[in-house]
Amino acid sequence: MSGRNSTRNNPTNGTGRSDKWEDALMKFLLDKVSDCTEFRCMTTLCKDFNIEYPQHAAKRSTINSRIRVLLKQIDHKEYDVDTLARLMFCLAQPLIGKNLGKVENRLRKSGNLRLDDKKRIILYRNEEVHFKGVHTGRNQQIRLREERARRESEARMRREEADMEFGSNEEEYDPMEADEDEVEDETLAPPSTGPSTSTRMAPVGQSEHPVVHNQLLEDERQVSLTAPHPFASLVPVPLENQTRTFNYYSLLKNIHNYILVLEDPTFELLRTEIVEELGKPGASDLKITGTQIAETLAYGIRIVVNNAKQNINPSSKPIQLIETLRFWKLLLLNVGFPKDDESVTKITSLISDFSPEMMIPVAKLRFALESIFENVRQ
């Protein structure tokens, strides 16, 4: 079924894409919700739009505002009811205002419509489609992680298909195939460059903000019940950290300053999101527990440690692993962790375990920082 009932005369730039951001953005949104029956993560949508339409790229808040403007001004007569319902439901658009009131009336006449207290669709059902969900801040974080897990699964399937057709070469690093969201659940024993350790990373699923993992190593599935827990934390969380709180603003400010030091445009979108978070009213007064900080940083450490190699393609813009670990340590000290805190001393031990030749791709560091930010943001 076609979403449009009529076609506008849209100028293009010779590539089939419109020169107007309004048309480009609406085309993008229609494509993203065409077969969607769940809420879409706005952060991911904005990033994807910047990639697909670089001529209209902007920071996340700008694109989000443009999406709201488009939906508020939408001519409902140009779209069938299924497409209208998908747009409003998947993009969590409140049906507020005279124009969107017409959309609401049309949806009520065509099916069973239910809205929440902010007038966002939580249920729509007709003979063709059925949407149902609840809008919460918690769901927004989960949706971002589900989106990452979905992309990880798709990337893994592509690699498996390529391996079946051409044969695999696990030792070769191809930056074009590198998926920034792929995190292998490995043991955390360092490579042969340093002494081994039996500790493993605790799943962030034990923290307040779970992260989706699709696979466990075969040996982890077969761990004896009498053996140490396979997910013992890489950075232990001392008992006092479970009640001790630290300044939320200081934590984000340190991450922001680290991104500035990196001077890499890859991190620009994340940096602007952190700036927006820092600018929220009352952000400087918010507190965050030591447990959440330690567990979240431990997850970030696992990402960079599991992706560290000695021979990395220069095109991936590698960064020294131990320098990244030193940043984690400095971050803890700057927000107020004492230097003899177990989380701090464990990172110090890790730094001495690894060779200076161990490097990580910049995409993996970006994913680690994005994961940390999404897990601690309030």
Q: How do the domains of the chain map onto residue ranges? A: 21-138, 179-376
Q: Which residue in 298, 294, 290, 297 sits closest to 242, CA to CA?
A: 290
Gap between the Cα atoms of 237 and 343, Å rounded: 6
Of 166 and 134, the one with more pLDDT: 134
- Give per-residue burial for 122-154: e unless 16+ CB within 10 Å, then b: bbbeeeebebebebeeebbbbbbbbbbeeebee
pLDDT in tens, 77-88: 999 999 999 899
Q: How many Cα atoms are found within 13 Å in the side-chain-facing hemisphere of 6?
A: 6
Here the tokens at position 159 are: 């690699």
Q: Which two tokens stand for residue 175?
A: 């930056």
pLDDT at 337: 92
**Left if phi > 0, otherwise alpha if psi is -120 to 50, otherwise beta: which for 311?**
beta
Please tell me whether the overall predicted TM-score, pTM, comes out greater than 0.85 for this model: no
The reported pLDDT for the residue numbered 206 is 37
Write the DSSP assignment of 4-64 as a string of letters.
Answer: BSS-----B-SSS-BSSHHHHHHHHHHHHHTT--SPPPHHHHHHHHHHH-GGG---HHHHH
**CA–CA separation, 132 and 61 (whole Å):** 26
Lowest mean pLDDT among 88-97, 128-137, 178-187: 178-187
Q: Tokens 């044969």 label which residue?
A: 167
Give 319's strand partners.
Answer: 360
Mean pLDDT for the stretch of residues 58-62: 85
Q: Per the structure block, which two tokens stand in for 320? A: 């020294």
Q: pLDDT band at 100, cuts 50/70/90?
A: very high
What is the tens place of the pLDDT at every residue in 177-224? 334 443 333 333 333 333 333 333 333 333 333 333 333 233 333 322
Residues 6+ apart with CB under 8 A from 226: none
